[in-house]
Chains A and B, each alone.
Chain A
Amino acid sequence: MPGFTETFGLALQLIFSGSRDLVEIVMLSLQVSISAVLLGCLVGLPLGAWLVVGKFPGRTLLQVLINAFMGLPPVVIGLVVYLALSHSGPFGVLDLLYSATAMVIAQMLLVTPLVAALARQHLDDLYLEYRNLFASLNLSSWQIARALLWDARYSLLTVSLAGFGRAIAEVGAVMIVGGNINHLTRVMTTTIALETSKGDLGLALALGIILISLSVTVNAAVMGLRSSARRLAYA
């Protein structure tokens, strides 16, 4: 088994060589995770706002459930999506199992409760600050939700980033519903798991370095955006 320095050198060599396989895996990972986060935000952000301004029976129960779902084990989600998409499952006719779409669905189910719960916390704080104004302007719940989502937009970017972090680092669910098929559903995390078990640590470490770099880059971009916004006193 090669030593750490040798493996690290090999990993860097793979990254800078621009290996087609490596690029393909990275691009698929990004495609799947970004799609899942966008869909998760599309559902999770309005859901978070609805939990803040909506008045309906069972609201507290729903909040508790969403908070609990934040920590759902990915393999459980993977299993549920697998059962739903398998040929004998209710959505089997769609023939989505072992496809990138199935992976997007699984990651979206993981990301949505996280986005909804974190968004609810941010929006709740903002609502406390604004509630007198909203009440004095006699606004509808719909108008209030829209205003909260817009005014908390920079905080919600951080929320979506947390969702992206959960999606891109996830391995269990995509492994189950994607099957880790080469050139079709192989993403960074599943490749790392596979290559490590095979002993090909160079490729695994190269993907690990890319994964960490991506995470740092996205964090830095969002932090930059937030501090610009704060300077403008919008955040």
Chain B
Amino acid sequence: MRQLWVCVPAPVVWPMPEISIQQSPVPLLQVSGLSLSVGERTLINDIDCVLKKGCRTVVLGPNGAGKSIFLRLLCGLMEPDVGSILWQGQAINSAVRRCLAMVFQHPVLLRRSVAANLNFALGNAGLGAVARRQRVAEGLHLARLQALASQPARLLSGGEQQRLALARALITRPTVLLLDEPTASLDPASVQAVEAIIESAHSQGIKIIFVTHDVGQVRRLADEVLFIHRGTITEQTSVAQFLSSPGSQVASDYLAGRLVL
């Protein structure tokens, strides 16, 4: 699984300097009193949680529980009504945002070639032409798309598109990778390829936070579970603990495949 990274031409130094996560005693992420409503509907309801670096966190919960919105809030794509999100003690600002990368369930690809899509992500990195070319080559290698570098990205298969989206996120050298159901509707081989990339990113020290409904994937990829129901985190525990003895009836029903309302 790590073989992909072994072949990357340049040494990869992932963490960005703005929030030097390795040395700090402050938790990687601290969420306090986070709430978000749209009209009369409460989507996120007073969430508090602390996430540490190193472990892979999966956000679980039934459809409509607020998982994707929670992820978007963490990435700064949405503003909460109240509450705070502190990454390494800092509120979300442009420096913090540069350390976060997000990949969506349906990859958003530009109407450009595969290589141009990768190059586009480096727009804010302040890199010279040589460094950019090197990062693009890294990305192509990581996504195993070297042979398709000049092809239009939108002609790729679903699995290839998701690998490209992941590689595009990773060549920006984020500290945290947020993934919203990255393998939904992919075939098993594509799922394996995407998981290999996620696993290799984790092995490079990148914090992984992802949403999935695939319990097998939870076993393979995650260390810690955040279970969300009706916009509230009802459980934060280890994967082993959650799968063997979930702490609530709702979580038990979810794992048993019973409809959770």
Chain A interface residues (CB < 8 Å from chain B): 129-130, 132-133, 135-140, 143, 147, 151, 232-235
Whether A151 pairs with B98 at a CB distance below 8 angstroms is no
Total count of chain B residues near the partner, CB < 8 A: 23
B124 close to A143 (CB less than 8 A): yes
Question: Once the chains bind, are B94 and A151 in contact (CB under 8 Å)?
Answer: no
> With the chains together, A133 CA to B124 CA distance in Å?
13
**B85 part of interface (Cβ distance < 8 Å):** no
A136-B75, A136-B77, A151-B110 known, 9 other contacts, Cβ within 8 Å:
A130-B108, A133-B108, A135-B77, A138-B98, A139-B124, A140-B124, A143-B123, A143-B124, A234-B154
User: What are 15 sample pairs from A and B whose C-beta atoms fall under 8 A apart?
Assistant: A132-B108, A135-B75, A135-B76, A136-B75, A136-B101, A137-B121, A137-B172, A138-B94, A138-B98, A139-B123, A139-B124, A143-B124, A233-B152, A234-B112, A234-B152
Residues of B with C-beta under 8 A to A139: 123-124
What chain B residues lie within 8 Å of A136 (beta carbons)? 75, 77, 100-102, 169
Partner of A129, one of B108, B120, B172: B108
9 smallest beta-carbon distances between A and B, as pairs: A133-B108, A138-B97, A233-B154, A136-B102, A233-B152, A151-B111, A234-B111, A233-B155, A135-B77
User: Which residues does chain B contribute within 8 Å of A143, judged by CB atoms?
Assistant: 123-124
B104 is an interface residue with CB less than 8 A from chain A: yes
Point out the residues of chain A lying under 8 angstroms from B94, CB to CB: 138
Report Cα–Cα, A115/B172, bound state, in Å.
35
For A232, what are the chain B residues with a Cβ–Cβ distance below 8 Å?
152, 155
Count CB-based A-B contacts (< 8 Å): 49
Complex-state Cα separation, A59 to B233, whole angstroms: 40
* Nearest neighbor of A133 in chain B, beta-carbon distance: B108
Rounded to whole angstroms, the CA-CA distance of A233 and B172 in the bound complex is: 26
Chain A residues with CB under 8 Å of B104's CB are: 132-133
For B77, list chain A residues within 8 Å (CB): 132, 135-136
Interface-central residue, A133, A139, A235, by most chain B CB under 10 Å: A133
CA–CA, A133 and B172, complex, Å: 13
What's the Cα separation between A235 and B111 when bound, in Å? 7
- Nearest A residue to B125 via CB reads A137
CA distance A33 to B123 in the complex (A): 37
Query: Which residues of chain B come closer than 8 Å to A151, judged between CB atoms?
Result: 110-112
A133 to B121, CA, bound (A): 9
Cβ–Cβ < 8 Å partners of B172 in chain A: 137
User: What is the CB-to-nearest-CB distance from B168 to chain A, in angstroms, rounded to a whole number?
Assistant: 9
Q: Which residues from chain A contact B102 at a C-beta distance below 8 Å?
A: 132, 136
Residues of A within 8 A of B154 (CB): 233-234
In the complex, what distance in Å separates the CA atom of A221 from the CA atom of B44? Answer: 52
Please name the residue on chain B nearest to A232 by beta carbon.
Answer: B152
Flag if A147 contacts B152 (CB, 8 Å): no
The smallest C-beta distance from B104 to any residue of chain A, in angstroms, reads: 6
- Distance between Cα atoms of A207 and B98 in the complex (Å): 59
Selected contact of B124 from candidates A135, A138, A233, A235, CB within 8 Å? A138
* Chain B nearest Cβ from A230, distance in angstroms: 10
CA distance A133 to B164 in the complex (A): 13
> How far apart are B135's CB and chain A's nearest CB, in angstroms?
14
Cα of A139 to Cα of B104 in the assembled complex, Å: 17
| A132→B40 CA distance, assembly (Å) | 25
A125 to chain B, nearest CB (A): 13
Considering the chains assembled together, what is the distance between the CA atoms of A232 and B116 in angstroms?
15
**B residues 182-196 with Cβ under 8 Å of A?**
none
Residue of B nearest to A234 (CB): B111
Residue contact A137 to B152, C-beta cutoff 8 Å: no
> In the bound complex, what is the Cα–Cα distance between A143 and B121 (angstroms)?
11
> Quick one: closest A residue to B152, CB to CB?
A233
Most buried by A among B77, B108, B111: B111
Chain B residues in 8 Å Cβ range of A130:
108, 110
B171 smallest CB distance to A (angstroms): 11
A189 to chain B, nearest CB (A): 37
